Chains A and B, each alone.
Chain A
Amino acid sequence: MRRLLFKSFVQGTLTEPAPAPDERALAELAARVSQASHRRLGRALSIREVDAGSCNGCELEIHALGNVLYDLERFGLRFVASPRHADVLLVTGPVSVNMREALERTYRATPDPKWVVACGDCARDGGLYAASPACVGGVSKVLPVDLHIPGCPPTPVVLLRGLLALLESVAADARGGGT
């Protein structure tokens, strides 16, 4: 244990991704996210993730946002345990018929102002499952969606870019005197 702590201490911070393009994207995102979110929401944006029938691929990559290389919380973005604490619902999956009511209730439990992000190709329009009677076919069939993040599943960097885009639109709303 002491050895592990010592090693962690001397190796310095790991929160800088190794591959060059990712590093640039993240560094760029780090600066822009903090400015935009600060303008509208102070320092933080709280996200409630809702799996509305995904294959769990999206969840794996959303989880990865929290690892030490991406360290989501440094951007002022964090996942919360209850929709009542959330500003954003990050919804995955084609919205199975069996999850529709739970998704609607989660949305109603989220205080205003709130934003909905549809994460992944299934959440956009049902994807592979669009024709299934067991699926509603995309988050926008159930909730007003502010942003779609594409990918099957979206990589952590793509997820971060998407959340940034949301922050920008939120900030633009604020400048225009909207919600």
Chain B
Amino acid sequence: MPTPNWQRSIKRREDWEQAAARLQDGELALLGLWGEPGFAHMALMEQTTDACVVLSVECPANRYPSVGRVHAPAIRPERALRDLVGLEPEGLPDTRPWLRHDGDYRFLPAEGESLHQIPVGPVHAGIIEPGHFRFTANGETVVRLEERLGYAHKGVNALMAGASLERAAALAGRLSGDSTVACSLAFAQAVEAALELEIPPRAAWLRALLAELERLANHLGDIGAVCNDAAFAILHAQFGLLRERVLRAADACFGHRLMMDRVVPGGVSCDLPPDGERRLRALVAQVRKDFPDLIEVYENTASLKDRTVGTGILTPALARQYAAGGFVGRASGRDFDARRTPGYAPYEALHFEVPVVHAGDVNARVWIRIREVEQSLALIEQILARLPPGSLACPDGPRSGRDAGEGAALVEGFRGDIFAWVRITPDGRVERCHLRDPSWFQWPLLEAAIEGNIVADFPLCNKSFNCSYSGHDL
């Protein structure tokens, strides 16, 4: 299996700057940028070979050469690194704080005749997470959207430092509650890479089962929610029902509706109960039966399609520049899925397709989800048919491996690839950990996608992206 080695290497300043230039040229994709006192780190992937590496640069006097200076996707991560660790990126074009909120915040100007501003949030009208959107509009048309995030900042990286593996795993599982399985999986895989742990095959297959159930539940909820934001309530109700059926099946099989804390370093903490296979097969059959009718209604309702087709277009060039993961990237032509590349067990033994379209509008992001629902249903069936017997975790948990080390992982959550990096001390604690939610490289693209659309289409665009606030805000 092409598991990347992720070996971290400390580079000279010039090499770091050269990597930034290669990012600018589009030869590399940025998977994450974070740091610790004395060092800035970034995870990179070669666009042609898919090789993954982690680079570090020493920060004498807490300074390092900014990557965001030449590669815009690094700007927000560098602003966050400045807030959280105090490392100063030299030449960073935007020096406003990001996750730390103190003092006045100046929004970027938009100049011209007849412009007005609309401030929205952090407390929104719906039941959603906190964030601020500053629209500048000309009549109905959005001229500029600027996001201000960080309201859900909980200090996760700082809490991770020094935490036991159990506590760190719990924190990872709550980075973004809707992706609890995927975040836990990313963290667990990073720990296993650090400690050179090999988990039992049954654990890997059960993890994939949980992950596909999570993807299924979220995609079903999202498709309904996009319809709801186009004021088409009946599909929202129908998809909400299907989502609830998935959550109840998850609860019945694994004891938690969102499947929190089921993926742990070294394996899984739950098994499929005796009637679990029957229960999940019934779920798959039910979704298979109901889903096509609902998609037909979505596809054949002109008033609904009128809202989603051509709305909120994200260009393939931007999706590629930002290495946007998940349905955001795949709806704009970026053919990437971490289950396939770099890939992890047991997906190399499973058959699935990665849908890609190029239109980049709300409709395209809905359709990627529709196709992925079908793929996840097929994957769940394959896993149930071939679930290997055996134990659920390494015999001595995470302590089965070596004492200390450093590791990284890239895992496909429902909204895209989640990157995790961890360093473990000889006494079995987390020294440092960084989890990069896919939203880091999707939120900025929402600002681009909404430009020129009407304000009333923002909820629709926003829902079609469905970025995480908590996952991003750390």
**Chain A positions near chain B (C-beta within 8 angstroms):** 1, 3-5, 7-8, 14, 18-19, 49-64, 66-69, 79, 81-83, 93-94, 96-99, 102, 106, 128-129, 131-135, 152-153, 155
CB distance from A48 to the nearest CB of B (A): 8
Contact B248 A19 (CB under 8 A): yes
Assembled-state Cα–Cα distance A93/B234 (Å)? 31
> Which of B151, B177, B234 is in CB contact (< 8 Å) with A98?
B151
Contacts of B233-261 to chain A: CB distance below 8 A: 234, 237-238, 240-241, 243-244, 247-248, 251-252, 257-258, 260
> Which of B158, B221, B293 is in CB contact (< 8 Å) with A4?
B293
Assembled-state Cα–Cα distance A86/B221 (Å)? 26
6 nearest A-B residue pairs (beta carbon): A57-B177, A134-B155, A81-B125, A132-B155, A67-B240, A55-B177
> Which of B123, B129, B257 is in CB contact (< 8 Å) with A54?
B129
Contact A128 B177 (CB under 8 A): no
Assembled-state Cα–Cα distance A94/B123 (Å)? 16
Known: A61-B257, A67-B237, A128-B174. A53 touches B127 (CB 8 A): no
Contacts of A66 in B (CB 8 A): 240
Contact A4 B238 (CB under 8 A): yes
Of listed B127, B237, B301, residue having the most chain A CB within 10 A:
B127
> Which of B125, B154, B176 is in CB contact (< 8 Å) with A96?
B154
Contacts of B178 in A (CB 8 A): 56-57, 60
Contacts of B112-147 to chain A: CB distance below 8 A: 122-123, 125-130
CB distance from A164 to the nearest CB of B (A): 19
Contacts of A133 in B (CB 8 A): 155, 158
Of listed B123, B125, B150, B180, residue having the most chain A CB within 10 A:
B123
CB distance from B301 to the nearest CB of A (A): 7
Contact A81 B126 (CB under 8 A): yes
Contacts of A134 in B (CB 8 A): 153-155, 158
Assembled-state Cα–Cα distance A98/B474 (Å)? 12
Contact B127 A63 (CB under 8 A): yes
Contact B244 A60 (CB under 8 A): no
CB distance from A54 to the nearest CB of B (A): 7
Assembled-state Cα–Cα distance A53/B300 (Å)? 39
Contact B130 A99 (CB under 8 A): yes
Contacts of B238 in A (CB 8 A): 4
CB distance from B164 to the nearest CB of A (A): 12
Q: Does B402 contact A (CB under 8 A)?
A: no
Contact A53 B152 (CB under 8 A): yes
Residue on B with the closest CB to A5? B234
Q: Does B87 contact A (CB under 8 A)?
A: no
Assembled-state Cα–Cα distance A99/B470 (Å)? 12
Contact A69 B241 (CB under 8 A): yes
15 further contact pairs, Cβ within 8 A, besides A57-B177, A98-B151 = A4-B294, A14-B241, A51-B130, A53-B130, A54-B152, A56-B470, A57-B180, A63-B127, A64-B243, A68-B241, A81-B125, A83-B123, A93-B152, A132-B159, A152-B260
CB distance from B173 to the nearest CB of A (A): 9
CB distance from B429 to the nearest CB of A (A): 15
> Which of B125, B151, B158, B251 is in CB contact (< 8 Å) with A99?
B151
Known: A58-B177, A66-B240, A133-B158. A102 touches B470 (CB 8 A): no
Contact A59 B154 (CB under 8 A): no
Known: A68-B241, A96-B154, A129-B154. A56 touches B176 (CB 8 A): yes
Contact A1 B154 (CB under 8 A): no
Contacts of B168-213 to chain A: CB distance below 8 A: 170-171, 174-178, 180
Residue on B with the closest CB to A93? B152
Contact A106 B123 (CB under 8 A): yes
A to B CB contacts below 8 Å, 13 in the list: A19-B248, A53-B151, A55-B175, A55-B180, A57-B178, A60-B258, A64-B244, A69-B244, A96-B153, A98-B151, A98-B152, A131-B159, A135-B154
Contact A56 B177 (CB under 8 A): yes
Assembled-state Cα–Cα distance A52/B260 (Å)? 20
Contact with A along B68-106 (1 / 0, CB 8 A): 000000000000000000000000000000010100000
